[in-house]
Amino acid sequence: MKNIIIASTSTLYNGKPLEYLLNEIEHLFKDVSEILFIPYARPGGISHDDYTNKISDAFSKINKTIKGIHTFKNPKQAIQEAKGIYVGGGNTFVLVNNLYKNDCINILKEIVTSGTPYLGTSAGSNICGLSMGTTNDMPIVYPPSFKTLSFVPFNINPHYLDPIEGSKHMGETRETRIQEFHKFNTQPVIGLREGSYIKVSGESIQLKGEHQARVFEYDTEPYEIETNTYLNELK
C-alpha cells in the first residue's frame, strides 16, 4: 500500500525548509524514528553532507532523525532496510543519474510500492512520475534512462509557473514546454504549483494544498483542477 507525498517544492517564499508540510510529514512518518535521506540532486551543487545537515534541522522539529544515503557502503541495502525515505530537490538529471549509477531505481520503486513511506520534493517529486521528461532542470549530466519510478500514472512538472501578464520575457512558458513534450509523448502532465502536493494513499491519488493544479492531456486543451480532486482517472 503506497504512502507517498509528492510536493512541488520543499520551501515556500519567506518560509523555512519543509515548514508548510510539517504536519503532513509528521503524519506520513508517524511510525518512523529515522528517515533515509537521498541528497543526490544536490541543489546549487552543495555537498551531500551539507544538504543532509540542512534537512536534519527541519526534521528535528518533529523529532525525526535523518541519515544520508551517501554514508552507507551499500545504497541499495540502505533503501531496502529504510523505514521511511525522503528524496530532496535540486537537479533531476543529477538525481536520476546517481540512482541509476548506484542501481537504486528498481529497489526504490519496489519498497515504496510495498508501503515504505516516501516524501519527494521538487526533483524528488519529478521522479515519482512515468519519466523525468517534464523537469525544469538543465541536462548537466546524462542518465542512462529518463524512465523513473511510476508511482503515479502521469508526469509531474514541479514549480509550475503561470504566464505573467505584461511580461517582456520572450522565452517559452511552462505551458509551451509541456505542449512541446506532448508532440513526442502521450502521458498526462500535472503542473504542480508551489504550495501544493499530491498525496498517494494505496490506490488513491489526490491533489492537496492551497492551489489548483493545471492538467495537460495529450491532444486536449489544458484545464484547471481544484485542490482535493482525485487524479486516479488520468491516463
Nearest to 69 by CA among 90, 93, 57, 87: 87
**Global confidence as pTM:** 0.96
- Determine the pLDDT at residue 73: 96
- Determine the pLDDT at residue 234: 78
- Determine the pLDDT at residue 164: 77
Annotation says 150 is catalytic: no
DSSP labels for 134-179? T--S---S--S--B---SSSSEEEET--PPPTT----SPPHHHHHH
How many secondary structure helices (H) and strands (E) does the chain include?
7, 11
- Determine the pLDDT at residue 213: 98
Q: What is the full per-residue pLDDT of the chain (235 aa) written as tens digits?
A: 899 999 999 999 999 999 999 999 999 999 999 999 999 999 999 999 999 999 999 999 999 999 999 999 999 999 999 999 999 999 999 999 999 999 999 999 999 999 999 999 999 999 999 999 999 999 999 999 999 999 999 999 999 998 877 777 767 899 999 999 999 999 999 999 999 999 999 999 999 999 999 999 999 999 999 999 999 987 6
Which one of the listed residues 8, 10, 122, 125 is annotated catalytic? Answer: 122
Which one of the listed residues 70, 137, 182, 196 is annotated catalytic? Answer: 137
Annotation says 114 is catalytic: no
- Determine the pLDDT at residue 235: 65
Annotation says 70 is catalytic: no
Measured between alpha carbons, how far is 181 from 172 in angstroms, rounded to an integer? 13
The owner of cell 500500500 is: 1
Identify the burial level of 55 via C-beta atoms within 10 angstroms of its C-beta, where 0-12 means exposed, 13-18 middle and 19 or more buried.
Answer: buried
